[in-house]
Homo-oligomer: A and B are copies of this chain.
Amino acid sequence: MSGSNPAFAKTAIIGVGLLGGSLAMALRQHRLTDRIVGCGRSEENLCIAQSRGIIDAWTQNPAEAVQDADIVVLATPIEAFVPLAASFRSHLKSGSLVTDVGSVKGALVGKIEALMPDGVAFVGGHPIAGGEEAGCAAARADLFAGKRCIITPMPTSDRTACATVIALWRAVGMRTEEMDPFAHDTLYGLVSHFPHLVAYALVNTAVGSDERAIDYAGSGFRDATRIALSPPDLWRGIALANRDAVISAARVFRKELDSIIFAVEKNDASALEVLLHKAQKARNDISGKTVDEE
């Protein structure tokens, strides 16, 4: 691919939240687009985005938002992607490009690609950036800088469109990597989607056992459960969209946790230390590496 930055006369951001809003800001900062139209369900959020200069205009009608757009970015909760694509497909400009920032790829990218009319390409992407905040008020232009972005083309995907999506994310500072959509889901099921469910379960364990327990939680518990602050509707959608990987990670996790608890039950200090030491070593190995936010 060439080293030059892509340029889009009109960009449509569908879902102007933390990711969509930050991408709008980054596109503008890096002069990658002339005009940004936002679309979403919350009029209040869209008004905030416009008043902050994150978007130039907004509409609550996706079909109107995508009209004449050179690039359309799906940045809503993932369960809305397919209904949205179905609703705006006939309004897409020929030669335009559709992409997304969703945390689950798998079968979803094939479903969206299948909805694209002739002359419009879809290429999926997952910028590993974000956080537990929601809404465009938390958006910032540098959210993506230095982080990783996984691009998930299919064998059928348009290579020129793929190169454009890669160039887009690189232009806003990301390290890009191509990956099979299903391999992506297995991987992020393990290191992101399932761990989120564990964090929610840990909080429910503390409050379910003793209402006041959580008040005694120290920084260890707080860090371990920070991701339980993430929006439940978003993560409900992610967990359901990546069911197989989440269920399979849960199966492995139960075995790993059972080994540890079994060693505790049997008072087996040496087995327990081996298990804890293995984890500490692996966790330590990534301590010095670049951190992607999520």
Q: A residues touching B (Cβ–Cβ < 8 Å)?
A: 128, 131, 147-148, 186-188, 190-192, 194-210, 213-233, 235-237, 239-240, 243, 246-247, 249-250, 252-254, 256-257, 259-261, 264-265, 267, 269, 272-273, 275-280, 282-287, 289, 291-294
Min Cβ gap A58→B in Å is: 27
A239 touches B264 (CB 8 A): yes
A209 touches B249 (CB 8 A): yes
B219 touches A291 (CB 8 A): yes
Residue numbers in B under 8 Å from A240 (CB-CB):
264, 267, 269, 272
A273–B206 CA distance with the chains assembled, in angstroms: 18
A253–B213 CA distance with the chains assembled, in angstroms: 14
Instruction: Please classify the interface of chain A as helix (H, G, I), strand (E, B), loop, or mixed, using the class held by over half of its residues.
Output: helix
Number of identical monomers bound together in the oligomeric complex? 2
A252–B223 CA distance with the chains assembled, in angstroms: 21
Of B210, B224, B257, B267, the residue contacting A223 (CB under 8 A) is B224
A287–B222 CA distance with the chains assembled, in angstroms: 8
B236 touches A272 (CB 8 A): yes
Residue numbers in B under 8 Å from A201 (CB-CB):
253, 256-257, 259-260, 279
A279 touches B228 (CB 8 A): yes
Of B228, B285, B289, the residue contacting A280 (CB under 8 A) is B228
Residue numbers in B under 8 Å from A224 (CB-CB):
195, 198-199, 223-227
B218 touches A128 (CB 8 A): yes
Residue numbers in B under 8 Å from A286 (CB-CB):
214-215, 217, 222
A-B CB contact pairs (8 Å), 20 listed: A190-B206, A191-B206, A191-B218, A196-B220, A197-B276, A198-B198, A201-B279, A204-B278, A207-B278, A218-B293, A220-B226, A223-B223, A224-B224, A228-B280, A229-B283, A232-B277, A236-B276, A237-B269, A246-B261, A246-B264
Min Cβ gap A19→B in Å is: 13
A237–B149 CA distance with the chains assembled, in angstroms: 41
Q: Nearest 7 A-B pairs (CB), nearest first?
A: A218-B294, A232-B276, A200-B279, A203-B279, A201-B257, A218-B292, A205-B253
Of B194, B216, B252, the residue contacting A191 (CB under 8 A) is B216
